[in-house]
Structure formats: C-alpha cells, structure tokens
Amino acid sequence: MRATEVVCFSADKTEVSGHASFCSAIDQYAESNSRNATLKAPRQSGVGFGRTIPAPFCHAFLMLRLTEIKLPLDHPEADLNAAILQRLAVPETELLSVAVFRRGYDARKKSAIHFVYTVDVALKNEKAVLKKLGKDRHVSVTPDMQYHFVAQAPAGLSERPVVIGLGPCGLFAGLLLAQMGFRPLILERGKAVRERTKDTWGLWRKGQLNPESNVQFGEGGAGTFSDGKLHSQIKDPGYRGRKVLTEFVEAGAPPEILYVSKPHIGTFRLVSMVEKMRAKIEALGGEIRFQSRVESLEIERDAAGQGQVRAVMLADGERIATRHVALAVGHSARDTFAMLFAQGVHIEAKPFSIGFRVEHPQMLIDRACFGDFAGHPQLGAADYKLVHHCGNGRSVYSFCMCPGGQVVAAASEPGCVVTNGMSQYSRAERNANAALVVGITPADFPGGPLAGIEFQRRWESAAFHAGGDSYAAPAQKVGDFLAGRPSTELGSVLPSYTPGIHLTDLSGCLPDYAITAIREALRAFGQQIKGFDMDDALLTGVETRTSSPIRVTRNRVYQSLNTSGLFPAGEGAGYAGGILSAAIDGIEVAEAVARAMLES
C-alpha cells in the first residue's frame, strides 16, 4: 500500500494477533448505536482493523496525537509505524491503532522533499506513555473532534426558519437546522445544480448569460465552479471544519480530504455531492425551493429604528411568515444588498481586491516548487502563494490559485466580464492559474455602503468593452503588459478561458494604481518563482469578486445590529471567504438560529 492510501491501520494488520478484544469492543459499540449512526461524525478518518472507529468509542479510550513525524515521499507503509514506535519508545505490542489526522509535505529544501505526518494512536497504556513524554511538545492528548449539536427542536414546533441562499453557507445552515429537527425552508434564486450547470456552459460555450443561473447563482453557490479548495486560515476551536469535511465525505468526496493538508474536491465531484446533501436535508424534513428570489423582508421597526423580521416576500408575491432568517447569499447578490440597505438594515462597506488572472505552464510551477521532484505522483500539481508590498503603498497577492486548471467566465450581470479559476479533482490541465489582485479599501470608492458594488461594476464593464463588447475576456501577454504595449499575438501559453479572449492592452481595465502595483509585483514574483514573469505568461481580466464589497454587520448572537431575527452569514454578508469558512459560518449561524428559536 502506498503512503497516499494510508488512512488508518493496526499495528500488526490483523485482529487475531492480540487485539481481538479491542476489535470486539468496537463491534459491540457500533451494533448498540447503529440507529444513531447517521448523526455521529467520526472523530478521525479511516478504519481500525478494517472497520470505522466510532468517535465516542475513541473518546472513551484515551488517544495520543503525535506531530512532526517526517518521512520520505516513497516511504514504505511500515516506516510510519516504526517512526511512531521510536517517538513513543514503546514496543510494537503496545500499539493498537494508528489514524492519520494530517499529512502534508515540506518542500523548502527541494533536494529532500518529505512528508510531515500528524497521527492519532491508541495504545494499551496511553496514560503511562503520556506521563513519560509529558514535556514533549509533539505528543499530546487527541482532542474530541466530534460535532455536538447545540439544540433539538421540540415536538410540535410550528415556526420554520428560512435560509436564503444555497451556497456552502446556506447548505450547511440548512443541513444543521434539519439535523436538529427545525425543518428549515431554503430559498434559492437560481436553479438546481445540474440545470444550473447547463446554463453556465451556455455562457462558456455560446456566450449566452442567464443572470439568474450562472457561476454565481444557483445550488452550490460560486464554490461549485472552483477548485473545490477545503482549507482555510480561520480559527476553528470547535472543530466545525471537521463536521464539514465529514459531511462532504459522506456525500461522496474522496476520504483523503480528511487528512491531506490542502484538500480539494474539483468541480465535477462537487455537483453530485451537492445533490446528495440536498436529499439529506429533505429527508430530515427540510424544504428547498429553487428559482425563488427574495424580493424584500417584512420588518417591523420601532421609533428608534430597531426592527424585527416578520416575513420574507418572494418575487412572485408570496409571503412566508417567519421570525428567523439566515441570510446566506453569496458575494454577488447585489440586488439583495440594495434591498436590505433600502429597508434600513445596517450595512457597511468593506475592503476587497481586484486584479487579473495569470496563466503559466503548470510544469514551470512544478519545477520551481519541487525541483527534481516535479511530476512525482505523491505531490501532484504544485501551487503557490505570493505577496508583494509595492512602492505605491499597495499590496499585491495571489488569490484562489488553481493548479492544472482553467480560467472561467463568472459574470452575473449583462455587459460585464468577470473571471474566476477552476480545477477538476485531477488538476491535470496544462496551465496553472491564479488571480493577482490588489487590495483596496472603502477610501478608494467613497459614496456610501454600496459604493463598492458600483466600483466593481465599473471595471467589469470596462473589461466587457475591452474584450470587444462580448463575453470574450481582454487578455495580454505578461511581457507586453510590463512593456506597456498591446498584445497582438499569443506566445507559448495558450488561454484556457471560454468563450474566448481578445488580445489588447489591459491598462484601461483597472485603476492606474492597480496597474502600477501589478507590474511591480510581477517582477518581484519572478525573483521568487523563476519564470513567473516570463514574456509569454498570459493575463486575463478582470477579477473583481474576490470577496463581498459589503458587510451586513451582526452582533455577538449573530443577528443584524438593528434587525432582530436576521442572521447575516457567509461570504455575501462579509463573514467568510471560500467553501470551508463559509460552511463553518453556516454551522455557527444555524446554532444561533436554533438557540434563538428555543428562547423565543
């Protein structure tokens, strides 16, 4: 078995070599708790002696977590056991099971790239080992990572919470509410994921945009058409991210997302996963309505301006009474933001970033990051993360890097061009791409809480015109961009963007300060990754939807500052960025909704 396939295994690979009682206890526990199995998330991925280890069982048996176990890329499976035994200074007979919690790689020294493991182990006498190694910072007690529901809906509860939006945040808010028995009603303005996929391909292949069904709107949200990255830098002391990953695996994601350091799923797998999660919500009593755009909220306000949600009003005129609304729209729901502002909901402008997509040969990135290990099957396609602080006071950084992927059309409004990046699970396409974006603040777009939307729209419209007044995207070779001349022909890097590109001068597609900053950053990045500023690398514009331009500010109980019963959530509300953080925020908001409903 190759190291990439190792998830969890016993010390001696059999249950008849001294550990049968351990296996028998697992079997007895699983049988006695089989009716609740769907509500219990495993505390770590994998199997013990060929079977799943239930989380409560693991918690009853103290387990130890070992970090910083370093092994070569091609190490035999037995080497991991040997390293564990050496670290713990125990004989093999003491080791009951091993679960890989995290596996990453260290490529800082390209001549000696190696795996770095974090593992959870069960021993015959964990307490004695922990006492012996108490001062070793790489040995600790495995934390309880099982998700614990915060509430359960009482029988006969008549009110139903409403979730607006079915992206990652709304999906998990709805799922958690359904699992707690609150029977949520989820309203999605776009279409179901497979119908939505057809509409999205209509833009990519034919240049036909459906403003209500595209990369931004529809079941699964914008994350459905992305690399499916599942890592985040947010703090997660409650291990809600583990709940997210466990639900994804149950819905069909590869089990490796539970332990690889930079998990990703890819677009095609996300489609079927979203469908399965929808079915689970419905089976638990939730209801999902597609093509149901929320036109307004019915809010009762007092003389001081404090309000209480009473209902949501749909575009077709239907009124849905509710006092608890999770607002989980994405960062492109501009009409919803305008509606909320017009109804007096507190909204603030927030920083975001704008820039271009850049494409390079994936092999160039692999060689720069991995040296002679480029192409190694255990490593896959290399990614990168870059940042440069420019002389004009701006910062430029790489965003949403997609190894072996493609640049995609992500517009949601007529007369605008927007780019994004996407990869399949294999990450096997010829180009690497990432956004190179410049940070901007509300000082760059004065005019009120919604001014950032108009700022985005201005540059998206400029890109539409620069692309030839179609949904073709304006593009320019890096060499020409640095020299300040229009591109007239492609070089060795062929564009992946569909429905096509128009070679031009990109300098009119972003503010002058952004163009200056990106030119400086490209040269600096060329010093960090050899060839990054190669003449034939291709820039495609524009990338404007890096995050929401507004924040629907909430209080410590996750409700709007001035509108009780409205729970702003996820990326559109300004509280997340990416699939994992949005899903975690959806869980936190679902918990807040559940608590509020039980208190009201």
DSSP letters, 367-423, are: HHHHGGGTT-TTT-S-----EEE-TTS-EEEEEEEETT-EEEE---STT---EEEE-
Tokens matching residue 67: 């970090």
The whole-number pLDDT of residue 234 equals: 87
The string of pLDDT tens digits covering residues 223-233 is: 888 777 888 88
Q: Using 50, 70 and 90 to split pLDDT, how confident is the model at 118?
A: very high
What is each CA distance from 492 to 284, 381, 390, 497, in whole angstroms? Answer: 53, 20, 29, 15
Q: How many CA atoms are closer than 13 Å to the CA of 557, on its beta-carbon side?
A: 13
Give the per-residue pLDDT at 229.
Answer: 84
Task: Give the residue from 323, 309, 314 showing the smallest Cα distance to 295.
Answer: 314
pLDDT in the model for residue 38: 32
- Does the predicted TM-score (pTM) go above 0.75? yes
Determine the residue type at 517.
A
Q: What distance in Å separates the CA atoms of residue 54 and residue 63, rounded to the nearest whole number?
A: 13
Give the pLDDT score at 267. Answer: 76
Taking residue 45's Cβ as centre, other Cβ atoms within 10 Å add up to: 22
Q: What confidence tier does 266 reach under pLDDT thresholds 50, 70, 90?
A: confident
Ordered structural domains, the chain, with CATH: 3-141 (3.30.70.2700), 162-348+548-599 (3.50.50.60), 351-543 (no CATH)
Residue pLDDT, tens place only, 451-497: 999 999 999 999 999 999 999 999 999 999 999 999 999 999 999 99
The pLDDT of residue 61 is 63
Task: Give buried/exposed letters for 132-158 (b at 16+ CB in 10 A, else e).
Answer: ebeeeeebeebeebbbeeebebeeeee
pLDDT the model gives residue 345: 98
Least confident of 112-121, 154-163, 264-273: 264-273
Pair 88, 80: CB distance under 8 Å: no
Q: What is the pLDDT of residues 573-584, one digit of tens each?
A: 999 999 999 999
pLDDT at 524 over 80: yes
Mean pLDDT of the chain: 90
For residue 105, give Cα distances in angstroms to 121, 148, 258, 485, 526. Answer: 21, 32, 16, 41, 24
Average of per-residue pLDDT across 333-337: 97
For the segment 94-99, the average pLDDT, to the nearest whole number, is: 95
Which DSSP letter does residue 211 get?
T
- Phi, psi (5° rounding) for residue 398? -80, 145
Determine the average pLDDT of the residues in 59-70.
Answer: 85
Q: What is the pLDDT of residues 242-262, one digit of tens each?
A: 999 999 999 999 999 999 999
With bands split at pLDDT 50, 70 and 90, how would you rate the model's confidence at 283? very high
Length, in residues, of the chain: 600
Q: Which residues pair with 525 in a beta bridge?
A: none
Burial status of residue 443 (CB atoms within 10 A of its CB: 0-12, 13-18, 19 or more) = exposed
Q: How far apart are CA 160 and CA 281, in angstroms?
A: 14
pLDDT in tens, 23-50: 444 444 444 444 333 333 333 333 332 2
C-alpha torsion sign, points 76, 81, 82, 87: positive
Model confidence at 555, pLDDT cuts 50, 70, 90, reads: very high
Q: Which residue bears the tokens 């404090």? A: 306
